[in-house]
Structure 1
Amino acid sequence: MSDDSIRAAIKAHLGVNLEWLAKRREDIVDADLKIVDPHHHVWDMPGNRYLFDEALADFQSGHNVVSTVHVQCHSMYRAEGPEEMKPVGETEFVNGVAAQSASGEYGTARVCSGIIGTTDLMLGDRVQAVLEAHLQAGGGRFRGIRPTAAWHESSQVRALNIPPHILMQDQARVAIKCIDRLELTLDLWVFFTQLDEALDVSRSFPNLKVIINHVGGPVGIGPYVDQKEAVFKEWRSRIEALAEQPNTVIKLGGLAMRYGGFNFNQLPEPPSSDLLVEKWKPYIDVCIESFGPQRCMFESNFPVDRGMCNYHVLWNAYKKMTRSYSADEREYLFSKTAAETYRLTV
């Protein structure tokens, strides 16, 4: 992926207004509840810096975050070498962040203890060498791949001009077979209109752990601005079908991206956790009811979701949404599913 494409992908996300975010502060709910944040990013882009210091400030903002997983974000690619190997630079960079955290000099949270990288699925069996390079660069922390797959026919929705239906291509299936053979996980960020493709992948590779990002990508922008009920109904049907595959897991979050159309960033003050519960609980409930707590994990998706809300407020909302669940079920939702999926010690 070219530098211009990398920047386009990040610019597709909302800007972060720290002065606006500072207008909202809440007391921490259930402060002792252990959290593994299985989906965040570290990057350094103009006007949107989120490196170790910025991430650590969020992780230490009051909740009991014990471990985190970095998920690929087109960050710190190698400037030189074969094109297909350039994404390995991100794994090298993130492993350095993880080593800094693992020193214990910055608190008890183990930041980036799991690393999810990327590769071009259209490499087919040539992806094997890239995967092996990621594993070597990850220093024992590399856990899986998230390819660039989110596509929509509407230019108002899709972030990148990538080919459609990548997951259905023969070359991609050969590459996924390599991922499966190395016992790596496959994270998929797709829009709800692509969930049938994710279902086909999970059926075709029953031993592969397929992790659906961002509650399966419901959309509320572009052609869907006034169709929330219709989108919810279609999204729910596809989520329920996907949940029937025992090798699938779903991440609960990502709803503060621009794609959801909630537009909290346009409010005079950042949203409260109560407002997030009101707007998001229907989506979270469907996912937990369909997959069960043992196959659900809450995620922050920071700093992307930082464009609409504060980190500590986000986790307050998640905790409020799940007060009716047992202690064991909440353990899965907030830490155990993530730790088991990504083989983390917590």
Structure 2
Amino acid sequence: MIIDTHHHYWNYDPVEYDWIDDDMTRIRRSFLPADLKETLKGTGVEGVVTVQARQSLEETDWLLELAAENEFMRGIVGWLPLAAEDIGAILDQYSQNKNLKSLRHVVQGEKDPNFILGKEFNRGISLLKNYDLAYDILIFEHQLVNTITFVDQHPDQQFVLDHIAKPRIKANELEPWAKYLWELAERENVSCKISGMVTEADFNNWTEEQLKPYFDVVIKAFGPERLLFGSDWPVCLVATEYSDWLNLVKKQLAQFSEEEQKMIFHKNAEKVYQL
């Protein structure tokens, strides 16, 4: 069994999704549960965790509605205003919906380099463990140093690193990403999604050989106990087909025993997101 822990849906709107630029014309359309269900045929993927693509309560409400309507959606990673003064009351309300498994903020898009260390934001993060909610970390590699400091403030919080912290694959640069990823991986309350790699490379010219050093670092740093599979569909489609990405990950994980592969492909997801 396989659980895909990272994908998105959207009703395409050029203003709301202005990050979909001219190099990504293939995904300038709507992507909904029916589209993903069709994509998953024959892949062995039986369950999914859907991740927010907009930072609004409207988005979180919409994803929770979709999860209630689609059995293959095992849970969602939503967005809530973690820095808000009344975040406690908001968490009281939203945590009643058992399809909400984790929260995420698009830290990679924040202009303030110290956003992740902000007092109000961290006050919100400190409450999540009381509601059995994980937190998905979305950053670029240059934000890893502050992220390590951030994680150390919350030793009892379950974190999931998205897209292996977006290293500079297109430039074929391993450092300082590898150094700081290893350091972050020393924190046992952090798991990592194998996802989003092809879109950090050149969409049209990436190779398996180019990605291998990044796979090697992540696999060794986190080990089979703290890795999860994610597709980043439909974003991945600008660089690869869903099944091709899944097969590439399977190939990289062939070094592990059958039980270890089960951990990465579904057991870790069930544990981290309490599916």
Q: TM-score, normalised by structure 1?
A: 0.71
| Contact 2:195-2:232 within 8 A present in 1 as well | yes
1:278 is aligned to 209
Q: In the alignment, which residue of structure 2 is the partner of 1:243?
A: 185
| Corresponding position: 1:149 with 2:91 | no
Partner of 1:37: 4
1:208 is paired with a residue whose SS is: coil
The answer for unaligned runs of 5 or more in structure 1 is 1-33, 76-86, 103-109, 151-159
Distance 1:305 1:71 in 2: 14
RMSD (CA atoms): 1.8
| Deviation digits for residues 87-133 of structure 1 (CA, Å, limit 9, x no counterpart) | 2322322223223322xxxxxxx1x211111123332x422222233
Q: 2:197 aligns with which of 244, 255, 264?
A: 255
Deviation of 1:45 (Å): 0.7
1:28 matched residue in structure 2 = none
Quote the offset at 1:182 in angstroms: 2.2
1:132 match = 92
Flag the 1:286–1:59 CA change in 2: closer, same or farther, 3 A. same
User: Does the CA contact (< 8 Å) of 2:169 and 2:211 recur in 1?
Assistant: no
Counterpart pick for 2:223 among 292, 306, 311: 292
What's 1:55 paired with?
36
The AA in structure 2 aligned to 1:101 is N
Q: What count of residue pairs does the alignment treat as equivalent? A: 261
C-alpha distance after superposition, 1:160-184 (max 9, x if no partner): 4643321111111111112233221
SS in 2 for 1:146: strand
- Aligned sequence identity (%): 27
Q: Determine whether 1:307 maps to 2:238.
A: yes
2:54 aligned residue: 74
Deviating 4+ runs (over 6 angstroms): none
Find the aligned partners of 1:88 and 1:121 in 2 and give their Cα distance.
Answer: 11
3-state SS of the aligned residue for 1:99? helix
1:202-249 deviation line (CA, Å, top 9, x unaligned): 21111100111101111356xxx4xx33xx121110011011111010
Aligned residue in 1 for 2:126: 177
| CA deviation vs aligned residue, 1:119-167 (integer Å, no higher than 9, x gap) | 23332x422222233324xx311111101211xxxxxxxxx46433211
Q: Is 1:96 aligned with 2:62?
A: no
Runs (5+) with no aligned partner, structure 2: 14-27
CA distance in 2, matches of 1:300, 1:38: 7
Deviation digits for residues 296-338 of structure 1 (CA, Å, limit 9, x no counterpart): 0121011111111100111011111111211011111111111
Letter of the 1:140 partner, please give it. Answer: K
Larger radius of gyration: 1
TM-score where L is the length of structure 2: 0.88
Take 2:264 and 2:214, find their aligned partners in 1: how far apart are those partners? Answer: 15
Q: Distance in 2 between matches of 1:56 and 1:316?
A: 18
1:115-130 alignment runs, 5 A limit:
115-123=76-84, 125-130=85-90
Q: Which residue of structure 2 aligns with residue 64 of structure 1?
A: 44
Q: Is the 8 A contact 2:164 2:193 kept in 1?
A: yes
